[in-house]
Structure 1
Amino acid sequence: MPLIEVTLTTGRSPEQLRTLLGELHSAVERSIGAPSHSIRVILREVSPDHWLSGGVTLAEKTAGIESAGSG
């Protein structure tokens, strides 16, 4: 049973998320020949305030606060 896990930040429409889920499912089905009923896709949305990279949250990066968390 293939399991695909995707984590991304919030902010996409339900339609975009549904399209992503469907495309991932189809890609697994095509690429490895997995039966459709056996494919699982889990999508997690994370607030940019809860995603840290290089000591700076994604929300801070978006706001232009590149040095937060240093010093």
Structure 2
Amino acid sequence: MPFVHIRVTDTDVTSEQKAQLIAGTTQLLQDVLDKAPEKTFVVIDEVATDNWGVAGLPVSRRQPE
């Protein structure tokens, strides 16, 4: 029974994109590990950019690249 936990920042992720992540992850586990989709769980957590850091700064404080 696979359990996949995906974390993304809470900006610009649509419901459709989340549905695609869930479907794609489920399909990948079926293709690679022969896991049954009905027994595969995918959870998506959205993290505020104040709570997600990279290169020593919260994402909310970094300059866009």
For structure 2, which runs of at least 5 residues remain unmatched after alignment? none
Which consecutive aligned stretches of 4+ in structure 1 deviate over 4 angstroms post-superposition? none
With 27-36 and 55-64 compared, the bigger mean Cα shift is at 55-64
What do you get for the CA RMSD once the two structures are aligned?
A: 1.6
With 52-61 and 14-23 compared, the bigger mean Cα shift is at 52-61
Matched, 1:29 2:35: no
For residues 10-39 of structure 1, what are the alpha-carbon distances to aligned partners after superposition, in whole Å with 9 as ceiling and x for unaligned? 121111111111101110111100111110
Q: Per the alignment, in what secondary structure is the counterpart of residue 5 of structure 1?
A: strand
Superposed displacement of residue 63, structure 1? 5.8
* TM-score scaled by length of structure 2: 0.85
Q: Pairwise mapping of residues 1-71 of structure 1 onto structure 2 (< 5 A)?
A: 1-10=1-10, 11-62=12-63
CA distance in 1 between counterparts of 2:19 and 2:64 reads 28
Instruction: Decide which structure has the larger Cα Rg and report it.
Output: 1
For structure 1, which runs of at least 5 residues remain unmatched after alignment? 65-71
Do the aligned partners of residues 12 and 62 (structure 1) sit closer, same or farther apart at CA in structure 2, a change above 3 Å counting? farther
